[in-house]
Structure 1
């Protein structure tokens, strides 16, 4: 069993490595790449891993990269980071802001890549202190929900076998230097639907000759909001959002169709099924009531599973973090309504997985905002065009968590 003292030699070079990691992060932030187009990022990662002595397999799910370091007998441990950016125009004003119009690392995946690249280098350099097999996965396409399953389909487990545990983390706008863990469910499931409503178009002056899909869409939007308030128990949680509604081409034309995109979030499979069934019932029912010429088309366009942590593995990891960082920096994570495809790896391998959160915002600013009841207003969240993690101690903390987590599961040399 690893002790905190035993981890010190592997982490000892981190201080000297921080300037290089900072430069790597700034470069990634300046050059964001959307889901499944992460070719530059993947090439940089593959080059680093090869230099560190990893066996490298590239091209998984298009741009995914796997690094494998075999270091004698012992456990097989997988660490994962996602690489893709978002279609968001950066408004941070940073001197290292995105150079790509309309694309930004607004969710912090550039920090995730940097953390894992740094941890991989430290673990490779300190391999005399541990034994086993280390797999590092740099995953594309997390934001669109098919990156993890794509890498699994392409045989991510074929190179070094299935791991015994899968570990991952995400930056959040909490105080930098804090680490947050949670046993069981930590992040929500998400289901995205595209709905096409069919009407009968015509002139705006003669609505009686039409079936107006705009009125139908408006009725559906309002009715969907009754699902959570009237069909889900107050002791359970769900979110239903209509994030897109498009219809029509001119003020005096009644369109013949409307398109909605609906987002559903839930933490429990029973609730998830109930909400999705209610969404379909309401959409079909409102269309029938409006006299639509044919039923709506309802297409599933995205799905993320619930992110659920193995309880025993989470307890073990939390104790390791407390021993390393101290109880004052190791907190219980809140239940997060955001979603992740990280857990697909553990589910496919049939092994425990643990996903935790690392704070990346200026601690004093965050705590002041919380104290004033202004956290939501003053602290930019993930996906905001203003999302800008502080570099230090964020860089150090995320590398340390991965090294501590890996060593806590690998064998002692």
Structure 2
């Protein structure tokens, strides 16, 4: 099958204004510096210091130390109305506990920590947007809040930032954000209204049986047999309890039991993740998972200990803000092949907490370029992306700002 996506080598950059294209070397420099000093969630001290230093250098009002290491910058247009609209832009800053395998001049200098998901690029794009908007305040009439968020990967920095009041004073009317996406080639953008990314819930379960000799199973309650039946039965939740129109996933990723081949294990431990798009399913999986575990354990005479929790809700894009982003993307990338509306993923993102509070749109900016060996998946130790996407991201954000405030009048 022939790909319908443009070859990255043929991406038309003439749609990016010269004033932004001329800043591309700066974007790359910032991104590579950030890539060299990756930091885990709520530990982004060097990253925050660098961001704050740049904002201060450009004369941009900002607050630091929000939810430990978060930063919020405020840029005001020159023609503010009595009650100006406020548009927020969100970028995450944290890295992953991965040992980088890339041999590049900007390789991670922190052992066992790596920007393997593109957050260094998100921060560089947000910085570039802040710099450009500060220099062109005459081009918009509202207020832009740029949120540099810690700990997206885990345990989640969006919610504590919201609780700290980042969407207040002044109150945010809408929010946008992007994710560099190596599942799409450079020159494409994934944008859609409605569900983009899944909710994620997790559970740990310990099956409490009765151990014994492998030759005398009648004297035991085999936790391995019980666990195996539970793993199989959990798959019926999606297959038979969820409307087939609604996508969902139950994945048992860990199962540990036993110490020797002829010993029946008295305990078995499993860990799992649950994913879904439809917000109405919240609470359903928790109940159904426990029903299945309790029923199977009872039938075998076993007990169980279940811990179930919700991590992130689904990322749900507002129709109007998604249309705003889509209209801007049409101006920046070649269409219609450059826009990918069916870009949903069962991956999760805590941008969802912002979108629960205010209308907004989160979108994917294609960043893969297989011709340059820049197409490894996210969270891979050789993940990297085509840095041409940095200028594209800034261009899209800037145009969204300009167009949003015009549409508000």
Q: Normalising to structure 1: TM-score of the pair? A: 0.86
Task: Report what 2:145 is aligned to.
Answer: 135
1:357 aligns with 2:364: yes
Task: Report what 2:225 is aligned to.
Answer: 215
State which of 295, 299, 305 in structure 2 corresponds to 1:285.
295
RMSD over aligned Cα atoms: 2.6
Deviations 1:212-257 (A, max 9, x none): 3333222222221222223334332111111222334555655443
Measured in 1, the distance between the counterparts of 2:69 and 2:258 equals 38
SS in 2 for 1:13: helix
1:155-234 matches, within 5 Å, as 155-158=165-168, 160-173=169-182, 174-202=184-212, 207-234=217-244
State which of 325, 328, 349 in structure 2 corresponds to 1:320.
328
State which of 357, 380, 383 in structure 2 corresponds to 1:387.
383
1:336 aligns with 2:383: no
1:15-26 matches, within 5 Å, as 15-26=21-32
Tell me, yes or no, if the aligned pair for 1:287 and 1:295 is still in contact at 8 Å.
yes
Measured in 2, the distance between the counterparts of 1:212 and 1:103 equals 40
Distance verdict in 2 for CA 1:251–1:238, change over 3 Å? same
Give the paired residue count: 388
Measured in 1, the distance between the counterparts of 2:254 and 2:366 equals 31
Tell me, yes or no, if the aligned pair for 2:210 and 2:221 is still in contact at 8 Å.
yes
Tell me, yes or no, if the aligned pair for 1:132 and 1:411 is still in contact at 8 Å.
no
State which of 310, 316, 322 in structure 1 corresponds to 2:318.
310
Task: Report what 1:148 is aligned to.
Answer: 158
Q: Greater CA deviation, 88-97 or 131-140?
A: 88-97
Unaligned runs of 5+ in 2: 1-13
Measured in 1, the distance between the counterparts of 2:94 and 2:246 equals 32
Task: Report what 2:75 is aligned to.
Answer: 69
1:392-407 matches, within 5 Å, as 393-407=388-402
Distance verdict in 2 for CA 1:91–1:208, change over 3 Å? farther
Task: Report what 1:374 is aligned to.
Answer: none
SS in 2 for 1:409: helix
